Structure 1
Amino acid sequence: MKLNNKLYSKSVLGAGIFIAASLFPSCKKEFLNVPQQGQQQSEVFWKTADDAGKGVNAIYGNMRSWENTAFPAIAIESMGSDDAEKGSSPSDASYFNDFDTFTIDPNQGNISGFWNGQYRNINYCNQVLDNVPAITMDATLKAQYLAEAKFIRAMSYFRLVRAFGAVPLRLTVPKDASEYNIPRTDAVQVYAQVEKDLTEAAEGLPASYAAANLGRATKGAALTMHAKVAMYLKKWSDVLAYTNTVMGMNYSLLPNFESVFRIPNENSSESIFEIQCALVPGNTAASNSQYSQVQGVRAARGGGWGFNVPTADLAASFETGDPRRDATIIFRGETTPQGDVIDASGDNPMYNQKSYVPFSLFVNGFNEGAQQNVRVLRFSDVLLMNAEAANELGNSTQALASLERVRARARQGNPAILPAVTATDQATIRAAIYRERRSEFAMEFDRYFDVIRQGRGTAVFGPKGWKAGRNEIWPIPQTEIDLSGGLLTQNPGY
């Protein structure tokens, strides 16, 4: 079950209160303070608990936007990896190839799209964090709302800092034109703020919600995201502590890997955080996700676009007999477990099965698969982070136990495949965990940054143009540098 429809309908209303000029970290200083017709102004908003709820709901609503889940996210978080390539027809959106070959120009629109999408999330969060504390309302609910905003702000800054390095760190809504243009903040400080937000979020978030509010950020989500951030910083003791805590909470792996990504199992016991998407009758604006559509089977019923498709390298990387291969990849000419027959003569030999929505669920008037949630944090990630941290700290017994839980689910009781890892030396276990992460999280927008934080960029991505000292991060959008009057600086090599 998803968050109730009130979140979807209110998110559009709530979005109207946010000041458009404060969406971006750099902005021209000349602007007119003219109220926009049809939108509620912040001076008359932020008075009641209902206003606070609408403001928080607007944050969730923005997270399923094009910039957060479609082309910009694919470009920045997937195209550089060895798991994915452009797809679609050869001439369609050929600029994706520049991300794949690391020949990207800072003027490319998906760079600024991803940047602006994250800062729009952050702006919505800052509106809540600036205004909700003064509202007279239930103290526990207020603390929850503030914690939700801190969690999503932290997640957005994490996406920014791992993609671009140093970025402008804005923690409040600008009060006047002089506050719009701020410089980049060192990545170390950005990460410190992300960790601070996640610590405070975990303190204010509940462990679970009633059915009507499933999908909101929880304590488990904050702890899991903190473990992920700590993993990037190689704070292995922290990773182990956070994941041990989450492993003691009420999460578990679903028995069948393929079912994890199907709509009936959204917000399941394995899901720790998902971007919530839905079809809201009479409100297509609140049903705007194109996550599934842009990756859907090309030329199939409903008009999938066929982008972000698996590579032959990914298909060949799975261990013999691993069921996750066929649960991750839709092959041209196959019949899916849901009974859809895939055209044997389509443009692409493979498609992303994790974003797949059965054709029978397409609804006229809505984007194909617009109701498909985006899985962000899963319990299997907690287990593999726990395994990696334990191994780095010299505890091979715990590392192998956590690794085996993931492999055992994948083998589904078949003793002839995916044998338990029995090595005890750190290097061999590390390699096994790295391989397991690829098999478990392929096409989930994690592989590219996983390889970089593991220090394997040259070895894995070098053959397609990746250069050490340059491609660890993407270029700062040239439009932002221009808007800042040169206050923002470009990353080396771009």
Structure 2
Amino acid sequence: MKKYIIKPFLFISILVFTLTGCEGLDPEVYDKLTPENFPGSDSDIEAAVTAVYNDMGETWMHVWLDDDHIAINELCTDELISAWGGDWQTKDRFLWTANDGFVKTIYFRYAKGITKATLLIDLLNNTSISNEDLQKRYIAEVRALRAYFGLQLYDLYGPVPMVTDPEIAKDVYTIHTPVRPSSEEVVSFLEEELLAAAEDLPSKYTTNADYGRITKGAALTMLMKLYLMEKNWTKVQDVTETIMGLGYALLDDYNDVFSVDTENNANTEVILALPKIADGYATTWYAVVLPQTPAYQSLTGISLSLWGGLKSPWSFYDTFEEGNDDRLGEAMVRYYYDTDGNWVDFREVSNSKAVGASPKKYQEDPDQLKYYQGNDIVRYRYADVLLARAEALNELNGPISEVVGLVNQIRGRVHTSLIEESGWSKTDMRDYILDERGRELFCEGHRRQDLIRHGKLIEKAHELGRMDAAAHHVLYPLPQSLLDENSNIKQNDGY
């Protein structure tokens, strides 16, 4: 694809390796990190690569601030609803505009990540280190991260310019004003990057120190996501077969997938997780989703701060087989004891926040501090791969026995009823797999794209009374500040 830069200040982030943007810094510092003085040591390289991961994760407060992956990919779907007003209803009710803070924050976070990655790839390519295999791995990691950022931009905003030429990235004194690339250019670039990265990445890491880094499986799962977006079913079939040969497996207990103890390959199902820690880079998921009134009583005796504004609509809850599905109960909460010891059926509660069940999802962190918890955020896992393969095979061959078997692997693990092998049309199986993806992967950031792929995002919104939802909402608007800087970039239709 064409290689452009959007904002010159993005270059700074790779120089200082911080979590925040750096607008307004003196441009005299731009040339101080060079192949002549970097790296000073192998630890410098590792620190530089690790810094690029910062643009991948949510903020320290997870869904509370503007740039959260889960909020923008779930609140507009049938899986999540907000009982809060303000900005939450902007996302919930399809009221966003090009001037909304989250639209800008998310866009420039990923754009900055691409620029940082491009600059670091250039530095690594022009640096000699003693361990050639490690150097190749680091380059592959950063290429995969750059593709991840690009994939998110493509998903959320459509094809947009990306800074993939280091010479343009380093030219901070020139404002480039590119036009938007085509979808074909973006897809080709992302596919090429991920295939190349996967070649030099390990299937897994063996130490805690490398936990959370991109693996071959993670790069290939990103590729799977790209192929799903493009409905390239043959390539989905092929890449899922490769991933299935890498040693991943479903855990016996669904709830254990989301336990605190996921490090050091303890979790064979998780392909990629974003590491968190309660007294540092934490999440606030429990506070956001668990009932405030009547107050939810911790299952493990920890102290919980409860705000309780986000819920899963009862209509979504009803897609599960109540009493016959392990995903209900601890992970999706309707019934619970309150802090006074009373047994509560939240569906019978009458207050403004009792609009659905609580998608607790993650097991309790015994080291939780106030409303901060250290559960690692699961980004990709093996169950997604199995369901993606089932979807692709159904599109290619209809509801063959392998399709049924893959779906039943997912359902059998949670002890819910298995589906029969006969009596399915391709259309019926397509709809069923979409529903099963919702039940299995709720609140993991996949639902928006799943509904878009099936042409049902707006339909589901209308069913929930979100009547402002319209066809153009399958993409978010480009930030108005971007358009103000570059008149060559055309806004997405409908905004």
TM-score category, normalised to shorter length: 0.7 to 0.9
Judging changes above 3 Å, is the alpha-carbon distance between structure 1 residues 31 and 217 closer, same or farther for their aligned structure 2 residues? closer
1:262 offset after TM fit, Å? 1.3
Indicate the SS of the match to 2:423.
coil
Given that residues 64 and 289 in structure 1 are in contact (C-alpha distance below 8 angstroms), is that contact kept between their aligned partners in structure 2? no
Report the equivalent of 1:492: 493
RMSD between aligned residues: 3.3
State the alpha-carbon separation in 1 of the partners of residues 176 and 309 from structure 2: 36
Q: Pick which of 423-432 and 245-254 moved more.
A: 423-432
C-alpha offsets along residues 8-63 of structure 1, whole Å, 9 cap, x if unaligned? xxxxxx9672489x969xx9xx9841449xxx942443454322211111122343
C-alpha offsets along residues 56-92 of structure 1, whole Å, 9 cap, x if unaligned? 11122343342995343344211110110123xx44x
1:341 offset after TM fit, Å? 9.3
1:111 aligns with 2:103: yes
What is the aligned counterpart of 1:42 among 4, 13, 33? Answer: 33
C-alpha offsets along residues 114-151 of structure 1, whole Å, 9 cap, x if unaligned? 11221232233223212111111111101111111111
Report the equivalent of 1:200: 196
Q: Pick which of 72-81 and 433-442 moved more.
A: 72-81
Code of the aligned partner of 2:369: V
State the alpha-carbon separation in 2 of the partners of residues 390 and 117 from structure 1: 35
For 1:144-293, what aligned pairs fall within 5 Å after superposition? 144-171=137-164, 172=166, 173-179=169-175, 181-212=177-208, 213-265=210-262, 267=265, 268-279=267-278, 287-290=280-283, 292=285
1:326 offset after TM fit, Å? 2.5
Report the equivalent of 2:475: 473
Indicate the SS of the match to 2:305.
coil
Indicate the SS of the match to 1:326.
coil
Q: Pick which of 63-72 and 264-273 moved more.
A: 63-72
For 1:285-434, what aligned pairs fall within 5 Å after superposition? 287-290=280-283, 292=285, 295-297=288-290, 301-320=303-322, 321-331=324-334, 333-334=336-337, 348-349=353-354, 350-355=357-362, 357-358=364-365, 360-363=366-369, 368-369=372-373, 371-394=374-397, 396-411=400-415, 417-434=417-434
**What 5-or-longer segments of structure 1 have no aligned partner?**
1-13
Judging changes above 3 Å, is the alpha-carbon distance between structure 1 residues 438 and 492 closer, same or farther for their aligned structure 2 residues? same
Given that residues 404 and 421 in structure 1 are in contact (C-alpha distance below 8 angstroms), is that contact kept between their aligned partners in structure 2? no
State the alpha-carbon separation in 2 of the partners of residues 390 and 130 from structure 1: 40
Judging changes above 3 Å, is the alpha-carbon distance between structure 1 residues 293 and 157 closer, same or farther for their aligned structure 2 residues? farther
C-alpha offsets along residues 396-443 of structure 1, whole Å, 9 cap, x if unaligned? 1221121121111121xx6xx344454343222212211111110111
Judging changes above 3 Å, is the alpha-carbon distance between structure 1 residues 291 and 393 closer, same or farther for their aligned structure 2 residues? farther
Q: Pick which of 348-357 and 63-72 moved more.
A: 63-72
Higher helix share: 1
Indicate the SS of the match to 2:311.
strand
1:458 offset after TM fit, Å? 3.7
State the alpha-carbon separation in 2 of the partners of residues 420 and 452 from structure 1: 28
C-alpha offsets along residues 268-288 of structure 1, whole Å, 9 cap, x if unaligned? 100011112235xxxx6xx22
Given that residues 255 and 363 in structure 2 are in contact (C-alpha distance below 8 angstroms), is that contact kept between their aligned partners in structure 1? no
Judging changes above 3 Å, is the alpha-carbon distance between structure 1 residues 303 and 181 closer, same or farther for their aligned structure 2 residues? farther
Report the equivalent of 2:298: none
Given that residues 291 and 374 in structure 1 are in contact (C-alpha distance below 8 angstroms), is that contact kept between their aligned partners in structure 2? no
**What 5-or-longer segments of structure 2 have no aligned partner?**
1-11, 296-302
Report the equivalent of 2:299: none
Indicate the SS of the match to 1:17.
helix
1:218 offset after TM fit, Å? 0.9
Q: Pick which of 130-139 and 115-124 moved more.
A: 115-124
Code of the aligned partner of 1:277: K
Indicate the SS of the match to 1:309.
strand
State the alpha-carbon separation in 2 of the partners of residues 306 and 225 from structure 1: 32
Code of the aligned partner of 1:380: A
State the alpha-carbon separation in 2 of the partners of residues 153 and 294 from structure 1: 32
State the alpha-carbon separation in 1 of the partners of residues 246 and 274 from structure 2: 21
Judging changes above 3 Å, is the alpha-carbon distance between structure 1 residues 176 and 462 closer, same or farther for their aligned structure 2 residues? same
1:99 offset after TM fit, Å? 2.0
State the alpha-carbon separation in 2 of the partners of residues 407 and 162 from structure 1: 28
Judging changes above 3 Å, is the alpha-carbon distance between structure 1 residues 48 and 296 closer, same or farther for their aligned structure 2 residues? same
State the alpha-carbon separation in 1 of the partners of residues 156 and 162 from structure 2: 14
Given that residues 115 and 160 in structure 1 are in contact (C-alpha distance below 8 angstroms), is that contact kept between their aligned partners in structure 2? yes
Code of the aligned partner of 1:351: S
Given that residues 52 and 128 in structure 1 are in contact (C-alpha distance below 8 angstroms), is that contact kept between their aligned partners in structure 2? no
Indicate the SS of the match to 1:252.
coil
Judging changes above 3 Å, is the alpha-carbon distance between structure 1 residues 187 and 305 closer, same or farther for their aligned structure 2 residues? farther
Q: Pick which of 314-323 and 109-118 moved more.
A: 314-323
Report the equivalent of 2:445: 445
1:95 offset after TM fit, Å? 1.9
Percent identity at matched positions?
24
Judging changes above 3 Å, is the alpha-carbon distance between structure 1 residues 51 and 433 closer, same or farther for their aligned structure 2 residues? same
How many residue pairs end up in the alignment? 453
Given that residues 257 and 327 in structure 1 are in contact (C-alpha distance below 8 angstroms), is that contact kept between their aligned partners in structure 2? no
Report the equivalent of 2:56: 63
State the alpha-carbon separation in 2 of the partners of residues 310 and 465 from structure 1: 19
State the alpha-carbon separation in 1 of the partners of residues 21 and 459 from structure 2: 38
1:181 offset after TM fit, Å? 4.5
State the TM-score, normalizing by the size of structure 1: 0.82
Judging changes above 3 Å, is the alpha-carbon distance between structure 1 residues 166 and 294 closer, same or farther for their aligned structure 2 residues? farther
State the alpha-carbon separation in 2 of the partners of residues 42 and 149 from structure 1: 17
